[in-house]
């Protein structure tokens, strides 16, 4: 008598019921911690696991946040920068860039426009520009909070002293984005000039946490010199740091930087890592970034389908939008504009999620 081969149990997790679910993804899904070797094997098997990882990531996200997508109005208020990061288009040595700064009143007016469009979080992002002293920035934050007390203010203005972070927090800043860029010290030193230090970046992240900010960390995917081992270390590091927000996007070369001829990172790998980050940090707020939307026209939708739950439309005045060029072809004329929010809503709806009018604070388990 010939026996029928046994079909593996269909748990509904594997994309194809013929395939057994991956045990490492299942462990992550159950809330277990993985070792770097487990992450490394996952990363190496990414071509076979992307679908399963994204299904589990969305299930985890939906359990905590439902199918809600939060939007942040991004105001890129200065492209002056004292730093010289080798990858970045607004680095100080890029003399071809036309530089701009927004006056406090202009920034504040952007938030009024954003409020009318339904934004309840404003992200003020800029290069490290000494023009914006603690006093100037604190004044701006206080005024935004005065006008819009129901909104969250996020700053993303790089490395500053602990006193500075304290003053900005006292002025009412709720959140701070500071990508660590890479967890590997040697790699950090390759991507940055000697004047910058890995230890200082890590100090900043630690102090921001201690001051009670909701903190965002993150890295570029496919930056020059990055290996699969580095990526495994990134996931272990993020699991330990446990930031409230994690921003990742593909590296994209900029024509007026030393990395002009380096290959861009891939959308597929970014999406797979995004799913692994969601599984590692279920409650994190994770944006589908502009860089992802730049290398793939459907990148933001795909990001949400991989487990992201944040979008950051551009609220900067139209005249300056093309000048905040961190990398080549950064999208700045289409649906990433805050004014195009209704088109964005439609696009998000097609993924089965919904943009909501909310501050979209970080949720702890059970909240």
- In the complex, the residues that contact ligand 5AD under the rule CB under 6 A are 87-88, 179, 181, 220, 249, 251-252, 254, 291, 326-327
Which CB atom, from 252 or from 353, has the smaller least distance to ligand 5AD?
252
* Structure tokens, 28: 């992550």
Which is nearest to 76 in space by CA: 87, 63, 89, 61? 89
Which CB atom, from 31 or from 263, has the smaller least distance to ligand 5AD?
263
Question: Smallest distance from the beta carbon of 169 to ligand 5AD, in angstroms?
Answer: 20
Which CB atom, from 6 or from 98, has the smaller least distance to ligand 5AD?
98
Question: Smallest distance from the beta carbon of 203 to ligand 5AD, in angstroms?
Answer: 17
Which CB atom, from 224 or from 282, has the smaller least distance to ligand 5AD?
224
Which CB atom, from 24 or from 180, has the smaller least distance to ligand 5AD?
180
Residue with tokens 């950051």: 312
Cα distance between residue 196 and residue 85, in whole Å = 9
* Structure tokens, 201: 């970046």
Which is nearest to 310 in space by CA: 277, 340, 286, 282? 286
Which CB atom, from 174 or from 181, has the smaller least distance to ligand 5AD?
181
Question: Smallest distance from the beta carbon of 294 to ligand 5AD, in angstroms?
Answer: 8
Question: Smallest distance from the beta carbon of 276 to ligand 5AD, in angstroms?
Answer: 18
* Structure tokens, 42: 């996952």
Which is nearest to 69 in space by CA: 348, 273, 337, 313? 348
**Residue 48, Cβ neighbours under 10 Å: how many?**
12
Q: Are residues 152 and 174 in contact, defined by beta-carbon separation less than 8 angstroms?
A: yes
Q: State which H helix or E strand residue 84 sits in.
A: none
Question: Smallest distance from the beta carbon of 146 to ligand 5AD, in angstroms?
Answer: 27
Which CB atom, from 29 or from 87, has the smaller least distance to ligand 5AD?
87
**Residue 229, Cβ neighbours under 10 Å: how many?**
13
Which CB atom, from 249 or from 360, has the smaller least distance to ligand 5AD?
249
Residue with tokens 């860089």: 291
Which CB atom, from 159 or from 361, has the smaller least distance to ligand 5AD?
159
Which CB atom, from 34 or from 271, has the smaller least distance to ligand 5AD?
271
DSSP assignment of 55-68 equals HHHHHHHHHHHTTE
Q: Are residues 259 and 295 in contact, defined by beta-carbon separation less than 8 angstroms?
A: no
- Strand 310-311 relative to strand 245-250, pairing: unpaired
Question: Smallest distance from the beta carbon of 351 to ligand 5AD, in angstroms?
Answer: 23
Handedness of CA 259, 265, 270, 273 (dihedral sign): negative
Question: Smallest distance from the beta carbon of 90 to ligand 5AD, in angstroms?
Answer: 8
Question: Smallest distance from the beta carbon of 91 to ligand 5AD, in angstroms?
Answer: 9
Helices (H), 10-149: 23-29, 36-44, 46-65, 104-116, 134-147
For ligand 5AD, the nearest residue by Cβ is 327
Question: Smallest distance from the beta carbon of 195 to ligand 5AD, in angstroms?
Answer: 17
Cα distance between residue 173 and residue 215, in whole Å = 11
Number of H-type helices and E-type strands within the chain: 14, 9
Question: Smallest distance from the beta carbon of 327 to ligand 5AD, in angstroms?
Answer: 4
């Amino acid at each position: 008598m010939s026996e029928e081969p046994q079909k593996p149990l269909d748990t509904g997790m594997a994309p194809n019921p013929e395939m057994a679910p991956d045990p490492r993804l299942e462990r992550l899904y159950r809330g277990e911690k993985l070792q770097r070797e487990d992450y490394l094997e996952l990363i190496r098997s990414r071509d076979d696991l992307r679908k399963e990882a994204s299904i589990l990531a969305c299930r985890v996200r939906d359990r905590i946040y439902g199918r809600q997508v939060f939007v942040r109005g991004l105001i890129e208020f200065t492209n002056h920068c004292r730093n010289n990061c080798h990858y970045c288009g607004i680095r100080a040595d890029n003399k071809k860039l036309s530089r701009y700064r927004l006056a406090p009143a202009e920034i504040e007016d952007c938030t009024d426009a954003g409020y009318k469009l339904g934004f309840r979080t404003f992200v003020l992002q800029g290069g490290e520009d000494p023009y914006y002293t603690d006093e100037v920035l604190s004044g701006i934050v206080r005024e935004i909070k005065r006008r819009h007390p129901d909104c969250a203010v996020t700053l993303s203005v790089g490395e500053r002293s602990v006193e500075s972070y304290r003053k900005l927090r006292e002025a009412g800043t709720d959140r701070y984005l500071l990508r660590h860029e890479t967890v590997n010290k040697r790699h950090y030193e390759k991507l940055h000039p000697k004047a910058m230090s890995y230890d200082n970046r890590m100090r900043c992240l630690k102090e921001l946490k201690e001051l009670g900010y909701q903190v965002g960390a993150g890295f570029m995917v496919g930056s020059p010199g990055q290996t699969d081992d580095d990526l495994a270390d990134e996931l272990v590091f993020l699991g330990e740091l446990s930031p409230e927000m994690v921003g990742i996007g593909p590296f994209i070369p900029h024509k007026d930087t030393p990395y002009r001829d380096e290959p861009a990172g891939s959308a597929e790998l970014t999406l797979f890592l995004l799913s692994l980050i969601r599984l590692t940090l279920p409650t994190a707020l994770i944006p589908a970034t502009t860089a992802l939307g730049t290398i793939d026209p459907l990148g933001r939708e795909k990001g949400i389908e991989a487990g992201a739950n944040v979008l950051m439309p551009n609220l900067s005045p139209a005249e300056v939008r093309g000048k905040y060029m961190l990398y080549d072809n950064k999208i700045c004329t289409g649906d990433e504009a805050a004014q195009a929010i209704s088109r964005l809503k439609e696009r998000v709806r097609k993924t089965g999620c919904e943009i909501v009018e909310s501050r979209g604070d970080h949720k702890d388990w059970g909240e």
